[in-house]
């Protein structure tokens, strides 16, 4: 069983299942986060704003906790298919080296404003670091900064592969948590699919593609009580590969 790294209150047996609740976080959550840590202060403001379902708060915090040490040296963060953008914003809050965070999605959802107000109330230093970019990735990807780190938290289906492609083109590190895997487009070898199951085989195929582009890949996970789609793929360029340009595109999984 995977422990919570940042929101450790959920390691209590009585609260663990609460982390997967689809109920919107509210003031009844405040007693569970009484501390003065930066993480707890952010959660309290999210609760006052009723910004997100509890599971989405836990998901963003634990994803960030798992990937931060692999991406923290990269000054620019791209949170692709970001929705409310909390995962990307957490880099601006917690990492001093983060200079810019671009939250990218086709449309900015209304609850993104609640998330932003909550985070800004606790961490006013992020005001000039975070920017929302609206539009399809096909139209916005050419403007993304070189060597930026790419996040893709539950980018649906093939959008995860698009996130990986963009990361490989930019040459920076990447962290994705795939979801909504479509067996119809899974090009992993049939033998792997039969032996490992569709989901694992899909991510094995992705791992080989990322490794072949000059990256080291690690598999991590967030607690499954938050979501069963909890596998995180982290890719960091090898030193020799980081200087290369014109990276090959990911073969569609």
Arithmetic mean of pLDDT, 111-132: 98
| Full residue range of the structural domain in which residue 71 is found | 59-242
Assess if residue 226 is contained within a domain. yes
Q: How many domains does the chain have?
A: 1
Q: Express each pLDDT in 7-55 by its tens digit.
A: 999 999 999 999 999 999 999 999 999 999 999 999 999 999 999 999 9
* DSSP-derived secondary structure letter, 37: S
pLDDT value for 197 = 86
For the chain, how far is it from start to end, CA to CA, in angstroms?
A: 29
Q: Which residues does residue 151 pair with via DSSP β-bridges, in sequence order?
A: 79, 175
Residue 34 lies in a domain: no
Would the pLDDT of 250 be above 90?
no
What's the pLDDT at 251? Answer: 53
Q: What is the bridge-based pairing of β-strands 100-105 and 76-80?
A: parallel
Render pLDDT for 59-103 as a digit per residue (tens, 0 to 9). 999 999 999 999 999 999 999 999 999 999 999 999 999 999 999
Please indicate, yes or no, if residue 253 is contained in any of the structural domains.
Answer: no
Please indicate, yes or no, if residue 232 is contained in any of the structural domains: yes
pLDDT > 50? residue 208: yes
pLDDT digits (tens, 9 = 90+) for 137-187: 999 999 999 999 999 999 988 899 999 999 999 999 999 999 877 666 677
37 located within any domain = no
Is residue 17 assigned to a domain? no
Q: What is the pLDDT of residues 65-77, one digit of tens each?
A: 999 999 999 999 9
Alpha helices in the chain, H assignment, sequence order: 38-49, 54-71, 86-94, 111-122, 137-140, 158-170, 190-196, 198-212, 239-242
| Spatial distance between the Cα atoms of 175 and 70, rounded to a whole number of angstroms | 9
Answer yes or no: are the C-beta atoms of 66 and 220 closer than 8 Å.
yes
Computed on alpha carbons and rounded to an integer, the radius of gyration of the chain in Å comes to 18
Q: CATH number, domain at 172?
A: 3.40.50.150
| Residue 190 confidence (pLDDT) | 82
At 60 the pLDDT is 98
CA distance 19 to 2: 13
Inform me whether the pLDDT recorded for 242 exceeds 90: no
Using the predicted structure, report yes or no on whether residue 239 has a pLDDT greater than 90: no
Work out the angle at residue 224's Cα, subtended by the Cα atoms of residues 74 and 10, and round it to the nearest 5 degrees.
85
Specify if 9 maps to a domain: no
Q: Check residue 186 and give its pLDDT.
A: 73
Rounded to whole angstroms, what are the CA distances from 121 to 48, 54, 125? 11, 19, 10
Instruction: Name the percent of the chain lying above pLDDT 90.
Output: 84
Residue 18 lies in a domain: no
């Amino acid at each position: 069983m995977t422990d919570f790294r940042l929101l450790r209150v959920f390691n209590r047996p009585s609260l663990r299942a609460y982390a997967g609740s689809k109920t919107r976080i509210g003031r009844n959550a405040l007693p569970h986060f009484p501390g003065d840590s930066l993480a707890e202060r952010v959660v309290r403001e999210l609760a006052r704003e009723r910004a997100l379902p509890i599971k989405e708060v836990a998901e963003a915090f634990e994803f960030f906790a798992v990937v931060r040490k692999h991406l923290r040296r990269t000054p620019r963060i791209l949170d692709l298919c970001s929705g409310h953008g909390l995962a990307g914003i957490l880099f601006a809050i917690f990492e001093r080296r983060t200079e810019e965070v671009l939250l990218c999605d086709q449309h900015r959802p209304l609850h993104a404003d609640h998330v932003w107000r909550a985070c800004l109330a606790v961490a006013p230093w992020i005001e000039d670091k975070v920017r929302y970019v609206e539009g399809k990735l096909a139209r916005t990807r050419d403007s993304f900064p070189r060597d930026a780190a790419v996040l893709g938290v539950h980018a649906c289906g093939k959008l995860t592969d698009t996130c990986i492609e963009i990361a490989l083109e930019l040459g920076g590190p990447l962290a994705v948590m795939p979801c909504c895997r479509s067996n119809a487009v899974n090009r992993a070898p049939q033998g792997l699919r039969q032996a490992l199951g569709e989901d694992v085989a899909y991510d094995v195929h992705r791992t080989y593609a990322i490794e072949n582009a000059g990256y080291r890949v690690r598999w991590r996970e967030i607690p499954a009580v938050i979501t069963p789609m909890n596998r995180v793929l982290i890719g960091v360029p090898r030193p020799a590969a980081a200087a290369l340009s014109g990276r090959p595109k990911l073969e569609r999984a």
